[in-house]
Chain A
């Protein structure tokens, strides 16, 4: 009796279908946020500044906090997957810590994104602002895709690291196009 091994690199329909589904849902979320930002008339108002003197410093610091936690999530993920050099095996507390770091990072992004969308809307005044607007929409699409990937047992093993890496990369790019610009251009108000 002989056994035929399929060495083709093309994903089987059984794998491709859930991959395409979570990617499509994430894409739909990103597009929906972009559409809202475009059609919504910016209010120019603020709901809260969480004690910061103005909205922009609040957004800059919250985004910085989210980006920092995002980096910690990346490091903890590398540790869990045994890819963090000299770290040894991951302790039992690491997976829940990884989840709570991500939750805190996500929650920090919400007031930032809310004021971006509701108060300012999707803008394309210059390249930095256009990139920031697109990245902001893409972030929640990538987040949705990652959350769905976490729930599924039918995806290839590389899906979760790829989704998480994409999410951290987008978050870092958002920080570079907003908080870094703010701190280097305006300074550090609220400190």
Chain B
């Protein structure tokens, strides 16, 4: 058996620390706020639900409408406009976030950045 090198010990230490950290439970205080912070939700806003790795049909909304996006899955999702006009950021399982509909009428495609097979369209009426 050959001697252990510093590089091997560093790798072993990194793997050990990471392995132990995997046992860390989910903790809201551990969340990076800029990553997962949810926007305030208005009581009369429209809603899009995420369930079973799919978006529910998005409602037709007026320009500037606040839309609540609720994630009922266990996994994190995003609702992100294909052209970058709106983005919830990562929504952890069971959490909600909100987006604001664009000011111009049109049909806007969106996707979950984590699961790109999840797609949908938001209709903004004039």
Which residues of A approach B to under 8 Å, CB–CB? 36, 40-49, 53-56, 99-100, 102-103, 106-107, 110, 113-114, 117-121, 123, 125-126, 129, 140, 147, 150-153, 181, 185-186
Contact = CB atoms under 8 A, between A and B. Distances in A.
B37 to A, nearest CB: 11
Contacts of A102: 7
B30 A45 contact: yes
A94 to B, nearest CB: 14
Interface stretch (B8-16, B59-67, B102-110): B8-16
A121 B89 CA distance: 18
Q: Give the interface residue-count category, chain B.
A: 35 or more
Interface string B29-47: 0111011100000000000
Nearest to B35: A46
Contacts of B113: 56, 186
23 contacts: A40-B22, A42-B75, A44-B36, A44-B75, A45-B27, A45-B92, A46-B35, A46-B90, A47-B32, A54-B90, A55-B90, A103-B7, A103-B11, A106-B11, A107-B11, A107-B14, A114-B21, A118-B21, A118-B22, A120-B75, A120-B114, A147-B8, A151-B1
Given A55-B90, A123-B115, A153-B1, 5 more contacts: A44-B76, A56-B114, A114-B22, A125-B117, A185-B116
A47 B13 CA distance: 19
Nearest to B4: A151
A7 to B, nearest CB: 30
Contacts, number: 104
B7 A99 contact: yes
A103 B12 CA distance: 10
B24 A44 contact: no
Contact of B35 (A49, A117, A118): A49
Nearest to B80: A186
Given A43-B26, A44-B91, A106 B14 contact: yes
Contacts of A140: 15
